[in-house]
Amino acid sequence: MNSSLLNFENKDLSLLPSVSLARDLQSKLGEGHQWIFHDALSEGPKNYKGPSLLKFKNKSIAVGAYDSSSELRYRFLSWLPMEGDEFLKRWKLAIKRRHRYLDKNERLKTNSFRLIFGEGDDFPGIVIDIFANIAVIQLDRPWLKKIWNLEAWIKLIREDLPFIEGILLKSKTSAKENEGEESEVLFGDVPEIIEFKENQMIFKTKIREAAKTGFFLDQRDNRLLIEKFTSGCRVINFFSYTGGFSVFAARGGASEVISVDIAKAAIDNCEEHFVLNKLNTKRTHICNDAFEYLELMKKKKEKFDLVIIDPPSFAPNAKAKENAMKAYEKCFAMGAELVSKNGLLAFSSCSGHVSLEDFGHVINASVSKAKRRAKIIAWGHQPSDHPYPLAMKELHYLKFCLLELG
């Protein structure tokens, strides 16, 4: 068996197709940036997706993953010549970074985490999430199977995470959010429904149908933050998905929690999560468009002590950014209007194209649109199992802000 994490490492690299840099990006790549867009490359192979050499001034300098159909044309993998165990070293480092999540005692409280976060762990295009005894591998595109040798990944997962009983592969077939996904069991048994823990709360996911790898693990730290502020609060959680924030708000002592999401399957799961966690908080789960419901709450002059707004990525690509900024501003401002005097407001954006600076602008604009004064109580980000290269701030995708409104 080929034990290399790369599918082509033991082959003659000089036989790979090549593409040339149109300008010298070597220092950028050296800083840890791993993406090259089509306009920085000269003509490469047509109708080709797979491993390829990167040339500069006729010299092969690196190896990476090439996709002739995508604007993100090249994902850098390694300088040449490659060291034999370079990728194994990357794997070991990724495991070391998750040391705390792999700790036996920690797993009694939280047994769901991101084991590999693509570029953040120097493994472009591959994400691995752990839900209790199941690992879910997500490839950003199905053809990345040509790059990553899944047999070797399975072997390493089983060696270093001996509690894993099943491995599921999910591949995105479209660049669009939550659209087109294929799944395939790679090892063991993967049940339809998986139960797992996050900070001692129990959640369930229908792993094959669920969005992304199964659950939004990236809000873990922000859910704990919310919990600290909900004692006695009337809370409304827009874009709730399966109620992650709702459940933590209830555990924090909220007097009432309303969850709103457009996806029926997700909203149905909210109630199950309250029951599983034996929470007897007053709650309502509403399957509705969030914008419509924001409008309705405003019309009814409803007020809340905490309003949470965690919309989907309105900017799946750079071109969509302007409209996304408008959509964020619109729902954030509407949310601000629902906050009671000295109540709290939590905003989040999970779009890599909306920078921390952009997010700050949207917050300012929406608070002033709602004619409110605000204090920042806390900023939040993606948790430590979602690391990103300093040189790729677009991978600092999750932003979160908790405000108090006067």
Which residues are at the interface with ligand SAH (CB under 6 A)? Answer: 216, 219, 239-241, 244-245, 261-263, 266, 289-291, 310-312
Query: Closest CB to ligand SAH among 21 and 331?
Result: 331
Query: Closest CB to ligand SAH among 196 and 239?
Result: 239
Residue 112 CB, nearest approach to ligand SAH (Å): 12
Query: Closest CB to ligand SAH among 149 and 246?
Result: 246
How far apart CA 398 and CA 288 sit, in angstroms, is 24
Residue 198 CB, nearest approach to ligand SAH (Å): 10
Residue 184 CB, nearest approach to ligand SAH (Å): 24
- Taking the CA atoms of residue 17, residue 20, residue 25 and residue 28 in that order, the dihedral angle to the nearest 10 degrees is -10
Residue 201 CB, nearest approach to ligand SAH (Å): 12
Residue 287 CB, nearest approach to ligand SAH (Å): 9
Give residue 289's Cα distance to chain centre: 22
What lies within 8 Å, CB to CB, of 298 at 6+ separation is: 334, 337, 338
Kindly tell me the burial class for residue 13, based on how many C-beta atoms sit within 10 Å of its own C-beta (0-12, 13-18, 19 or more). Answer: middle
Q: What are phi and psi of 116, to 5 degrees?
A: -130, 130
User: In three state form, how does the secondary structure of 30-94 look?
Assistant: HHCCCEEEHHHECCCCCCCEEEEEEEECCEEEEEEEEECCCCEEEEEEEECCCCCCHHHHHHHHH
The structure tokens listed for 321 are 């950014």
Query: Closest CB to ligand SAH among 148 and 241?
Result: 241
Residue 313: closest CA among 300, 324, 305, 329: 324
Which single residue is written with the structure tokens 């604009």?
A: 365
The structure tokens listed for 186 are 């790679």
Query: Closest CB to ligand SAH among 67 and 310?
Result: 310
- Amino acid present at 282: K
How far apart CA 105 and CA 103 sit, in angstroms, is 6
Residue 375 CB, nearest approach to ligand SAH (Å): 23
Residue 292 CB, nearest approach to ligand SAH (Å): 8
Query: Closest CB to ligand SAH among 171 and 219?
Result: 219
Query: Closest CB to ligand SAH among 129 and 310?
Result: 310
Residue with the shortest CB distance to ligand SAH: 244
Residue 211 CB, nearest approach to ligand SAH (Å): 6
- First-to-final CA distance of the chain: 64
Query: Closest CB to ligand SAH among 120 and 311?
Result: 311
Q: Contact, 46 vs 101, CB < 8 A?
A: no
